[in-house]
Amino acid sequence: MVVRMAKRKKKMNIYEIIVIIIVVCIALYNNFKSSEAFVYKEVTLTDNLEVQFIDVGQADAILIRNKNESMLIDAGNNEDGTKLVEYFQSLGITSFSYLIGTHAHEDHIGGMDDVIKAFDIKTFYMPEVATTTKTFEDILEALEEKGYNFETPKIGDTFSIGEASVEVIYVGTNEKDLN
């Protein structure tokens, strides 16, 4: 699942988009060349919009914060879950408005069960493609323990995080290629 973020009150011009792309590329480059065990790179896109690319090796974990709301896109590998929970708690995060598992591969949803168990979750999005892996089953069990369900958004759906608007531009449904 891919999402596109846009500022609700002001349309972005091409120069702002280019600057954002450059900043994101620099953050990604610095993230991959880091030799520390658990480092994050923070990019502040506006006064209120902050994106952190969290170093979870070859896996993915992106924290987006706007005002007092937080959204997590993917949660690294299984062994990253505890580190992510501790990191988010150190930031003072107590809940997530949105938790998004882009697809059911371990390097994207591995630590998600730990995050679900440790925080209140308003909405959990994941594609409607089931797998029989232990990692996927761990997520379903964590959701069930907390009384949560996952939802699958549709292309074009929008939701807000703080003052930012998020638009769903793709939802993977191909069971043969989860990516």
pLDDT of 12 over the 50 cut: yes
Cα of 138 vs its chain's centroid, Å? 18
Q: How far apart are the first and last CA of the chain?
A: 9
Phi, psi of 141 (to 5 degrees): -65, -45
- Measured in degrees and rounded to the nearest 5, phi and psi for residue 16 equal -65, -40
Task: Name every residue whose Cβ is closer than 8 Å to that of residue 178 and which is 6 or more positions away in sequence.
Answer: 103, 104, 105, 127, 129, 131, 172
Q: What is the pLDDT of residues 87-102, one digit of tens each?
A: 999 999 999 999 988 8
Q: Would the pLDDT of 36 be above 50?
A: no
Q: Which long-range contacts (CB under 8 A, 24 or more apart) does 53-62 make?
A: 53/27, 53/28, 54/84, 54/87, 55/31, 56/80, 56/83, 56/84, 56/111, 58/107, 59/107, 59/108, 59/110, 60/102, 60/107, 60/108, 61/111
Tens digits of per-residue pLDDT, 111-151?
899 999 999 999 998 877 666 778 788 888 998 999 988 88
Distance CA 115, CA 121 (A): 9
Q: Which residue has the tokens 């349309």?
A: 11
Maximal C-alpha separation, the chain: 46
Q: What is the mean pLDDT of residues 33-59?
A: 64
Return all residues near 112 (Cβ < 8 A) that are at least 6 apart: 74, 75, 81, 99, 101, 139, 142
